[in-house]
């Protein structure tokens, strides 16, 4: 219960009580919590105190609000285990069934429309001098919830028929037949926090300005050529990064 004589602020005590109820399952995922008025009456505290506690729990991802309906418990965050995560995780080339991804769009683009492609495929020291790329946009879902929005760039000079092959839902062994020297065997990844733009918001089903975990993966062939570049954006409020190290 709330201790009005404690040095801990009342709103902070209420936050702890609500979190405890969430973690013990008393407030289940996607279930509505008591209204502000009900919490005021239950704990004999003021509405501003309740409002501050609920606001901070909403900002930290424990709760979410639906206009006209109330405040609900958010889904548990999906775990991204860094120990098992590799740059191949979101790859199209390394996927057994590339056409089975939740693909949003497939098209050919020129590197002049996206400067990072020239930087990665040319300036990085790769021997690839091709200017045209397959741009493949797709989403990854978990338990019917969108987890990430990904874009893969693959040089058409190396894989000229890949757009048509993916549209035809060909398995990877057919797409990559005869191209074994170009299979990805090494990756380099970078992780940063970015904020949702309009396109990200559309596919991730979040508001613009929300924090995202952005992972850039550059995939190399055995000979050191860049064969794929993948940008994966994960909803920061739905994901946990797990680290485990041994000395």
Closest CA to 209 of 235, 190, 239, 231: 235
What whole-number distance in Å separates Cα of residue 208 and Cα of residue 177?
42
Could you tell me the pLDDT band of residue 94, with boundaries at 50, 70 and 90? confident
**What are the backbone dihedrals phi and psi of residue 209, each rounded to the nearest 5 degrees, phi first?**
95, -10
Closest CA to 234 of 169, 189, 182, 183: 189
pLDDT of residue 128: 46
Percent of the chain scoring above 70 in pLDDT: 86
Could you tell me where in the chain the CATH 1.10.10.10 domains are found?
10-73
Angle at 123 (CA atoms; ends 121, 126), nearest 5 degrees: 50
pLDDT of residue 87: 60
Q: Looking at residues 182-188, what average pLDDT do you find? A: 88
Which residue, chain included where needed, has tokens 């889904």? 75
Could you tell me the pLDDT band of residue 231, with boundaries at 50, 70 and 90? very high
Residue pair 160/166 in contact by the 8 Å Cβ criterion:
no
In which element (H, E) is residue 162 found?
helix 162-167
pTM exceeds 0.85: no
pLDDT of residue 127: 45
Q: What is the pLDDT of residues 107-158, one digit of tens each?
A: 999 888 787 888 888 654 444 446 899 999 999 887 677 888 999 999 998 9
Report how far apart, in Å, the C-alpha atoms of 66 and of each of 19, 69, 235 are.
Answer: 19, 5, 19
pLDDT of residue 13: 93
Residue 219 pLDDT greater than 70, yes or no: yes
Q: Looking at residues 88-102, what average pLDDT do you find? A: 78
Could you tell me the pLDDT band of residue 14, with boundaries at 50, 70 and 90? very high
Q: What is the pLDDT of residues 44-87, one digit of tens each?
A: 999 999 999 999 998 877 888 888 899 999 876 555 554 455 56
The residues, any chain, with a CB within 8 Å of residue 157's CB and separated by 6 or more, are: 128, 129, 130, 132
CATH of segment(s) 10-73 = 1.10.10.10
Could you tell me where in the chain the CATH 3.40.1410.10 domains are found?
78-242
What whole-number distance in Å separates Cα of residue 227 and Cα of residue 121?
8
The residues, any chain, with a CB within 8 Å of residue 202's CB and separated by 6 or more, are: none
pLDDT of residue 154: 93
Which CATH fold would you assign to the domain 78-242? Answer: Chorismate lyase (3.40.1410)
What whole-number distance in Å separates Cα of residue 41 and Cα of residue 47?
9
Across the chain, mean pLDDT equals 84
Distance of CA 103 to the CA centre of its chain: 15
- What is the maximum span of the chain, computed from C-alpha positions, in angstroms? 75
pLDDT of residue 241: 66
């Amino acid at each position: 219960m709330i201790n009005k004589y404690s040095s801990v602020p009342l709103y902070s005590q209420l936050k702890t009580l609500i979190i405890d109820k969430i973690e013990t399952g008393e407030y289940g995922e996607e279930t509505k919590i008591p209204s502000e008025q009900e919490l005021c009456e239950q704990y004999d505290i003021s509405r501003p105190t309740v409002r501050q506690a609920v606001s901070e729990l909403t900002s930290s991802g424990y709760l979410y609000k639906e206009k006209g309906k109330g405040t609900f418990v958010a889904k548990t965050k999906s775990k991204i285990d860094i120990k098992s995560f590799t740059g191949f995780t979101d790859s199209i080339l390394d996927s057994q069934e590339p056409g089975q991804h939740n693909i949003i769009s497939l098209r050919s683009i020129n590197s002049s429309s996206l400067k990072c492609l020239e930087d990665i495929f040319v300036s990085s020291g790769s021997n690839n001098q091709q200017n045209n790329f397959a741009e493949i946009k797709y989403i990854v879902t978990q338990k019917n919830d969108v987890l990430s929005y990904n874009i893969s760039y693959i040089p058409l000079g190396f894989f000229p028929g890949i757009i048509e092959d993916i549209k035809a839902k060909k398995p990877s062994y057919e797409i990559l037949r005869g191209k074994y020297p170009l299979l990805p065997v090494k990756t380099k990844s970078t992780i940063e926090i970015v904020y949702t733009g309009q396109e990200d918001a559309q596919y991730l089903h979040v508001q613009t300005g929300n924090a995202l975990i952005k992972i850039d993966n550059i995939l190399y062939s055995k000979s050191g050529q860049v064969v794929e570049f993948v940008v994966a954006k994960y909803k920061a409020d739905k994901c946990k990064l797990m680290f485990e190290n041994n000395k």
